[in-house]
């Protein structure tokens, strides 16, 4: 729908910078010096895009149980972590993020339990450290996956060195391994932002899959500088998350319009027999209005025959085994 798309585009333009901390489509460089790409050679252009490219498409011939579509509901459990990373101490600001741990997560887990569907939770270690009851609550039903989402939701392009980035990554992996009793296999970069070191570091750490990039809306193998990485990419998208639209900086405070977009994206994935990944945040989605629409959306997807609800790990393992 054109009008829907234009509302969504406007929303992204207004708030992408607030959320991601990096310039996106809204950036308007001033003067020729601010547009170095205009002078780049073909080789420089190729080098610029080489670190993360699309390799083999991994949508299998069929999904388990002959399902038409794989659906991964994912939750980035940021809570206060991203605010603490930048030194925020305002009780008011922190309390709005604490909502995710105190209220939002329980509502989400309750919804998933009632519908008996699995989900993937990407948790910054500091978020778990401040709320130690969260991980046992997520793991209680035995259906959900916990993946890495940074130590303190650090913005990786600003960390400064490969050594420091690796220290934070290993600290996060160690914390979640101890807290869950299992080494995480899924990775999602904080703010979905990679540094120049990130792909090398997640390869070295042995992750099965990443879910931070956006080049396709079906699973693919991540290729880096011409080399297949062996990492499966379960791609996400700026339009398939609620933070640009809802919450304090939200530019489209209408859960109804937002879920209309999600429904249309799901319908397309269902038609194409591929994959639908949605990323939500307990401190935003856990509020009453978006929860009402999430509930309706899950019921809508469940009403269709042949929908495979799965964790990122289940999808990544399945597409790898299907090759
Ligand atoms: Zn996050």
Centre of ligand 1 from the C-alpha of residue 269, in Å: 24
Phi/psi at 74 (5° precision): -125, 150
Return the pLDDT at 33. 81
- Neighbour-count burial of 121, counting CB atoms closer than 10 A to its CB (0-12 exposed, 13-18 middle, 19+ buried): buried
Cα of 30 vs centre of ligand 1, distance in Å, is: 30
The predicted pLDDT at position 30 comes to: 73
How far does residue 156's CA lie from ligand 1's centre (Å)? 12
For residue 44, the CA-to-ligand 1 centroid distance in Å is: 31
Distance 43 CA to ligand 1 centre (A): 34
pLDDT value of position 254: 80
Convert 82-91 to b/e letters by CB count within 10 Å (16 or more is b).
Answer: bbbbeeeeee
Separation of 289 CA from ligand 1 center, angstroms?
Answer: 21
Consecutive 10-residue averages of pLDDT for the chain (323 residues): 43 39 52 88 97 97 97 98 97 97 98 98 98 98 97 97 98 98 98 97 98 98 97 96 84 83 98 98 95 97 98 98 92
Predicted confidence at residue 22, as pLDDT, reads 40
Supply 120's token pair: 């993937």
Question: Ligand 1 mean position to 105 CA, how many Å?
Answer: 14
The pLDDT value recorded for residue 115 is: 98
Ligand 1 centroid, distance to 41 Cα (angstroms): 35
Q: 86 C-alpha to center of ligand 1: Å?
A: 13
Please tell me the distance between residue 243's alpha carbon and the centre of ligand 1 in angstroms.
10
What's the pLDDT score for residue 27? 60
Burial 244-276 (b: 16+ CB within 10 A, else e): bbbbeebbbeebebbbebbeebbeebbeebbbb
Distance 181 CA to ligand 1 centre (A): 23
Helix (H, G, I), strand (E, B) or coil at 120: strand
CA dihedral defined by 180, 186, 187, 191, rounded to 10 degrees? Answer: -90
> What distance in angstroms lies between residue 123's CA and the mean position of ligand 1's atoms?
8
DSSP letter, residue 191: G
pLDDT recorded at residue 5: 45
DSSP state of 286: T
Dist. CA 171–CA 159, nearest whole Å: 14
């Amino acid at each position: 729908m054109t009008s829907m798309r234009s509302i969504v585009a406007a929303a992204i333009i207004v708030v992408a910078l607030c959320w991601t901390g990096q310039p996106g489509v809204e950036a308007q460089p001033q003067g020729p010096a601010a547009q170095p790409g205009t002078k780049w050679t073909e080789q420089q252009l190729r080098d610029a895009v080489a670190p993360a490219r699309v390799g083999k498409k991994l949508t299998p011939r069929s999904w388990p149980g002959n399902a038409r579509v794989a659906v991964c509901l994912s939750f980035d459990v940021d809570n206060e972590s991203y605010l603490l990373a930048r030194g925020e101490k305002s009780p008011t600001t922190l309390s709005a993020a604490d909502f995710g741990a105190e209220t939002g997560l329980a509502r989400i887990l309750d919804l998933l339990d009632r519908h008996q569907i699995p989900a993937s939770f990407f948790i910054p270690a500091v978020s778990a450290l401040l709320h130690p009851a969260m991980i046992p609550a997520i793991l209680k039903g035995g259906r959900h996956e916990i993946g890495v989402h940074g130590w303190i939701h650090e913005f990786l392009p600003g960390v400064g060195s490969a050594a420091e980035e690796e220290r934070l990554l290993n600290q996060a992996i160690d914390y979640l391994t101890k807290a869950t009793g299992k080494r995480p296999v899924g990775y999602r970069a904080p703010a979905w932002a990679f540094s120049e070191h990130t792909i090398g570091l997640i390869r070295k750490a042995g992750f099965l899959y990443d879910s931070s990039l956006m080049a396709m809306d079906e699973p693919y193998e991540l290729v880096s500088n011409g080399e297949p990485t062996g990492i499966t990419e379960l791609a996400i998208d700026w339009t398939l998350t609620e933070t640009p639209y809802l919450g304090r900086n939200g530019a489209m405070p209408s859960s109804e319009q937002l879920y209309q977009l999600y429904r249309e994206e799901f319908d397309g994935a269902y038609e194409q027999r591929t994959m639908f990944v949605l990323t939500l945040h307990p401190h935003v989605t856990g509020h009453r209005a978006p929860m009402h629409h999430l509930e309706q959306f899950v019921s809508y997807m469940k009403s269709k025959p042949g929908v495979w609800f799965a964790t990122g790990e289940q999808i990544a393992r399945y597409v790898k085994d299907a090759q």
